[in-house]
Amino acid sequence: MLDKVLIINTGGTIGMVHSEKGNTMSPLRPAENWDEIAKEHLVLEGLATDYYQFETLIDSSDISPENWVKMAEVIESNYNEYRGFVILHGTDTMSYTASALSFMLKDLDKPVIITGAQVPLQKPRSDALQNLITAIQIAGNEFYGIRLVPEVCIFFRDTLLRGNRSRKNDARNYFGFSSPNYPSLGEAGAELGIKKNKLLKKNEGNFHIETALDNRVIIIEIFPGLKPSYLMNIFESIEDVKGVILKTYGNGNAPTNEDFIDVINFITSKGIVVINITQCTTGTVKMGMYEASTKLLDAGVVSGLDLTPEAALTKLMYLLGKTDDTEEVKRLMSIDICGEQTLNHYNFKFAQNNPAKICKFSFDIPEEIAGGDMIEAAVRIKKLSQKNKVDKVSIIVSLEGDSFIENIDNFQCKKKIHKNTENIHEDILLNFNKCAKKISEESKEIIVTLESDKAIVWGDIVFSIYAEC
């Protein structure tokens, strides 16, 4: 059977037929079997496929995590028998399913291509046939024994998209899906072109599935006029929520008024993981860039970078299902698992011990970004002040062996704050973007030293790094 593709039908428009044979005006119902779908389409009968149908075919508006587990299990139990898999699915929640499966199917090295249609197969001018044929071809494609597409994708109209980057953006147009923050993986014209350099690297481990998903999560979209008291009521009355996807403005900005920030602090104080993603179609959350997001940062909100809402939600369900350690969930939410985000974000946080004249902290640069992948770096010292009035605090960032990086690109990593620090009580932000790459090429360690001639007091020191995935 290894030369075949397994079609898994879950429902949606693509698998619907007219209840009265031959009458295209009669209501649509789910097909009973593959023959009913494929008949009248000789080309489908000619393709090397087997067919598996969900017991109940559903409109994808009814999709739930249990359905994702079922899909993963069907793929697992048939994994060694087929070249690849095509999932027939309603378009409405297809991007959620594609995202969820991308986290659940581990060490995948075969194509899992999800497709659907805006118009059922039997209607004139339907998009179903073309979507189906091309999805089967991509799923069955092999090149010198190597599967070309070792990941979960959506194929629609003429474009192959990474599943966890995709979004449904049109309810009518045959170009129904887009991938706003990542290029397409392939185009189907007269030729089928796969962009190999955009695909995930082939996995080395043994394929397996991880099916524990925790759906005690909620998405909240902010808007001008949102009453903080409504949010407070929700979180005071729901006991067991574990994670929140907060859809904010622009680069991750939200209202700065005290009532709103109090609610966010209340939510995070309950141990709930809050992930900040943008309402914009394209772009990345960068908290700390504007004051309007700094307060979220201080409240313990985590950056969801350029995750789509679908990927953010399913990644959170997956990670909450994997571990009870919320700090670990927060850390992993900012690090790429399977191509779902463009950057990794790391935070190294140091808390104040005792006021001292010299305070020194160090941390190891994560192994996976050593060698030049760091593209942005910044240190933020919160609420810096001094016991006794003096006018200078030096903030020194140095590398392995305490060596300086002053010679790099004329950049000074030794800063002196010339202020009356007794009254500062403010955040100091220094960025090292210009030399970030060089830092990660030259050192395995970063050392931050605060130096003054009087004891220094501060809230937190956070060293933040962005790196290419």
Q: How far is the CB of 176 from ligand ASP (least distance, A)?
A: 8
The verdict on 142 binding ligand ASP (CB under 6 A) reads no
* Separation of alpha carbons 45 and 42, rounded Å: 5
Sign of CA dihedral 56, 62, 66, 71: positive
- Determine which one of 10, 13, 115, 278 is catalytic: 13
Residue 328 Cβ, how far from ligand ASP at the closest point, in Å?
A: 34
- Cβ proximity to ligand ASP, 90 vs 243, nearer residue: 90
Per CB under 6 A, does 91 bind ligand ASP? yes
Task: Candidates 31-39, 58-66, 333-341, 411-419: pick the segment binding ligand ASP (CB under 6 A).
Answer: 58-66
Cβ of residue 135: shortest distance to ligand ASP, in angstroms?
14
Q: Is 12 in the site for ligand ASP (CB under 6 A)?
A: yes
Q: Which of 9, 13, 178, 276 binds ligand ASP (CB under 6 A)?
A: 13
Site string for ligand ASP, 117-136 (x = CB under 6 A): -x------------------
Q: Helix or strand or coil: residue 467?
A: strand
Q: Give backbone dihedrals phi and psi of 381, rounded to 5 degrees, phi first.
A: -110, 120
439 by Cβ neighbours in 10 Å (0-12 / 13-18 / 19+) ranks as buried
Which of 90, 186 has the CB closer to ligand ASP? Answer: 90
Nearer to ligand ASP, 168 or 380 (CB): 168
Q: Which residues contact 145 (CB under 8 A, 6 or more apart)?
A: none
Query: Would you put residue 418 in left (φ > 0), alpha (ψ -120 to 50) or beta?
Result: beta
Using alpha carbons, list the distances in angstroms from residue 241 to 139, 253, 313: 38, 23, 13
d(CA 380, CA 337): 27
Instruction: Tell me the residue type at 363.
Output: F
In this chain, which of 4, 41, 51, 59 binds ligand ASP, going by CB under 6 A?
A: 59
Residue 92 binds ligand ASP (CB under 6 A): yes
Q: Please state the closest distance from residue 154 (CB atom) to ligand ASP, in A.
A: 12
Q: Are 332 and 103 in contact (CB under 8 A)?
A: no
Closest separation between CB of residue 20 and ligand ASP, Å? 20
Q: Does 410 bind ligand ASP (CB under 6 A)?
A: no
Distance, CA of 115 to CA of 188 (rounded, Å) = 14
DSSP state of 454: E
Query: Is 326 one of the annotated active-site residues of the chain?
Result: no
Q: Determine the Cα–Cα distance for residues 438 and 371; give it in Å rounded to an integer.
A: 9
Mark the segment that binds ligand ASP (CB under 6 A) among 84-92, 215-223, 395-403, 427-435.
84-92
Judge contact between 225 and 260, C-beta under 8 A: no
Q: How far is the CB of 117 from ligand ASP (least distance, A)?
A: 6
* 95 binds ligand ASP, rule: CB under 6 A: no
Shortest Cβ distance from residue 60 to ligand ASP (Å)?
3
Stretch that binds ligand ASP, among 78-86, 88-96, 310-318, 448-456 (CB under 6 A): 88-96
Angle formed by the axes of helices 326-333 and 309-322, nearest 10°: 150
> How far is CA 400 from its chain centroid?
32
Rule CB under 6 A: is residue 243 a binding residue for ligand ASP? no
CA 79 – CA 206 distance, rounded (Å): 11
# residues near ligand ASP by CB under 6 A: 10
- Which residues of the shown chain bind ligand ASP in the complex (CB under 6 A)? 12-13, 59-61, 90-92, 116, 118
As annotated, the active-site residues are 13
